[in-house]
Amino acid sequence: DWNAGNVIAEQVERIRAQVGDARVISALSGGVDSAVSTALVHKAIGDQLTAVFVDHGLLRKGEREQVERDYVASTGVHLITVHAADTFLGHLEGVTDPEEKRKIIGREFIRSFEQVQRDLVAEAKAEGEQVKFLVQGTLYPDVVESGGGSGTANIKSHHNVGGLPDDLDFELIEPLRALFKDEVRAIGRELGIPEAIVGRQPFPGPGLGIRIVGEVTRERLDVLREADAIAREELTAAGLDQQIWQCPVVLLADVRSVGVQGDGRTYGHPIVLRPVSSEDAMTADWTRVPYEVLARISNRITNQVPEVNRVVLDVTSKPPGTIEWE
Ligand code: XMP
C-alpha cells in the first residue's frame, strides 16, 4: 500500500547516501513540486541545503510572503530571496510579444539563480566544502513526457521557462521522479507544508508577465495583482477550488473602454476571467461558475480597482483557445 510516511523515510535515506556532507542548492518557485522536493531534501540534510527564491516582480499578491514566512516557518528551510523585480521589469520594458517575454523572464531567472550559486560555491570553497547537487522537482509525468521526443514535447518546451538549464555542473537530486501530483501533495501535507502551497493550482513560471496583454509595467502589475487577488478570494470563498483547475485573470492593457464610475465618465481597461476545468491542461473547458459568484467578483473588482471599468468572462474551451491568453 502506498504511504506518504514510507516514501519520505525511503527518500531521506537515499538523499543522505547520495549527498554525504556536500552542500546542495534548490530553486523554489512557490509551486507545489519545488516546495515539496526542497522540504524533502531539507528533512534529509538540514542546513546543508540552501533554497533560492527569485522574486521577479511578476508574483501574485501574498506569494512572496507565503514562501518567505509560511513555508520557512513550517519547514525550517534556509532560504535566500533574490530581489530582482527592477532587473526583470527593466528588461521587459517595451516588450509585448509573448514568446519574447518568456525568453527574457527565463533568461533573467537563470542569471539571478547563477549569481547566488556562484556566491554559495565561493563561500563553500572558503570553508573547504563542495556544492555539488541541485534539487529538481521533476515528477513522473515530466520524465515520461521528456522521454517521448514527440510533438508534445515541443509544444510544452516553453513551459520549462522558470526551470534551469541542463548544462550546469551539478548532479541532480530528484526525489519526486517516481511520483504523481496527488502523491506529491500527500507527501507535502505529511511534511507539514501549508495547504495554501500544497493545494495550489498551477501558475505559470513567467507569472503575471504573460497575463498582461501588452507591455508589462509596474503600474499594470499592481492593477492586475489586485484584480487577481479579488477573483481568487471569491472563487475560494464560493468553494470552487476543486472544480476549477486554474483561473487566469488577464489585463487587456492596450484596450480601453468607456464607463461610468463614481461621479464621472471613465476610460479604463477590461479584466478577463478565464476559469477552466481540466485534467491535465492539454484540453480544458470553461468552468460554469455560478452567476452570483461572477457578479460578486465583477462588482468588487470595478469598485476596488479604479483602473478597471469592465469585467468579461472567457467562454472558450481548449482547443481552440489556450488556457493562458499569451
Ligand atoms: P496553455 O496556455 O498552453 O497552458 O493552455 C497550459 C498550462 O501551462 C501553463 N503555462 C505555463 N507554465 N511557463 C509555465 O511554467 C509558461 O511559460 C507557461 N505557459 C503556460 C498554464 O498556466 C497552464 O497550466
* Residue located nearest, by CA, to atom 22 of ligand 1: 204
Which phi and psi (to 5°) does residue 197 adopt? -90, -45
Amino acid in position 78: H
CA 292 – ligand 1 centroid, Å: 28
324 alpha carbon to ligand 1 midpoint, in Å? 6
Instruction: Out of 323, 325, 326, give the residue to mutate to test ligand 1, the one with the largest number of ligand atoms within 8 Å of its CB.
Output: 323
**ipTM score of complex:** 0.99
pLDDT at 166: 54
Consult the annotation and say whether 90 binds a ligand.
no
Grid cell 509551486 is found at 31
What are the domain boundaries of the chain?
4-198, 211-313
Cell of 45: 540534510
**What would the mean pLDDT of 128-153 be, rounded to a whole number?**
77
Distances (CA, A) of 155 to 3, 49, 324: 34, 34, 14
One fold for 4-198 and 211-313: no
Q: What is the DSSP string of 221-281?
A: HHHHHHHHHHHHHHHHHTT-TTT-SB--EEEETT--EEEEETTEEEEEEEEEE--EE-SSS
pLDDT digits (tens, 9 = 90+) for 290-308: 999 999 999 999 999 999 9
pLDDT tens by residue, 171-201 = 999 999 999 999 999 999 999 999 999 999 9
Give pLDDT tens digits for 207-234: 999 999 999 999 999 999 999 999 999 9
With a cut of 70, say whether residue 159 has pLDDT above it: no
Q: Topology of 4-198 in CATH?
A: Rossmann fold (3.40.50)
The per-residue pLDDT for 150 is 36
CATH of 211-313 given 3.30.300.10, 3.40.920.10, 3.40.50.300, 3.40.50.150? 3.30.300.10
Contact (Cβ atoms closer than 8 angstroms) between residue 185 and residue 198: yes
Q: Binding residue per annotation — 262?
A: no
- Expressed in angstroms and rounded, the spacing between residue 285 Cα and the centre of ligand 1 is 15
* CA 83 – ligand 1 centroid, Å: 24
In angstroms, what CA-CA distances link 189 with 44, 77, 197?
A: 17, 16, 10
DSSP-based three-state secondary structure for 35: helix
Residue 9 neighbours by CB distance under 10 Å: 12
- The structure's pTM equals 0.91
Instruction: With residue 177 as reference, give the H or E element that holds it.
Output: none
Q: Ligand 1: residues within 6 Å at CB?
A: 102, 158-159, 161-162, 202, 204-206, 246, 281, 318, 322-324
Protein residue with its CA nearest to atom 6 in ligand 1: 281
Write the DSSP symbol of residue 54. Answer: E
> Where does the pLDDT of residue 149 fall: very low under 50, low under 70, confident under 90, or very high at 90 and above?
very low
CB-based contact 172:136 (threshold 8 Å): yes
What pLDDT does 154 receive? 35
**Residue 317 is labelled as binding a ligand:** no
Atom of ligand 1 nearest to the CA of 248: 22
At residue 84's C-alpha, the angle toward residues 165 and 41, to 5°, is: 50
Ligand 1, atom nearest to 162 Cα: 15
Best substitution site from 136, 159, 161, 208 to test ligand 1's pocket, by max atoms within 8 Å of Cβ? 159
Q: How far apart are CA 228 and CA 319, in angstroms?
A: 24
Q: How far does residue 116's CA lie from ligand 1's centre (Å)?
A: 27
Is 29 assigned a ligand-binding role in the annotation? yes
Q: How far is the CA of 224 from the centre of ligand 1 (A)?
A: 18
Q: Is 106 annotated as a binding residue?
A: no
What is the structure's pLDDT at 240?
A: 98
Structure confidence at residue 144 (pLDDT): 86
pLDDT in tens, 26-42: 999 989 999 999 999 99
Write down the mean pLDDT value for the chain. 93
Q: How far is the CA of 210 from the centre of ligand 1 (A)?
A: 9
Cα distance between residue 36 and residue 299, in whole Å = 37
> In the prediction, which pLDDT does 137 show?
94
The pLDDT confidence band at residue 151, using thresholds 50, 70 and 90, is: very low
pLDDT beyond 90 at 165: no
State the DSSP code for 66: I
pLDDT range class, residue 262, cuts 50, 70, 90: confident
pLDDT at 45 over 60: yes
Neighbours of 144 (CB within 10 A): 9
Say if CB 173 and CB 133 are below 8 A apart: yes
Question: Ligand 1 pocket test: which of 324, 325, 326 has the largest number of ligand atoms within 8 Å of its C-beta?
Answer: 324
Closest ligand 1 atom, residue 325 Cα: 2
Q: How far is the CA of 133 from the centre of ligand 1 (A)?
A: 28
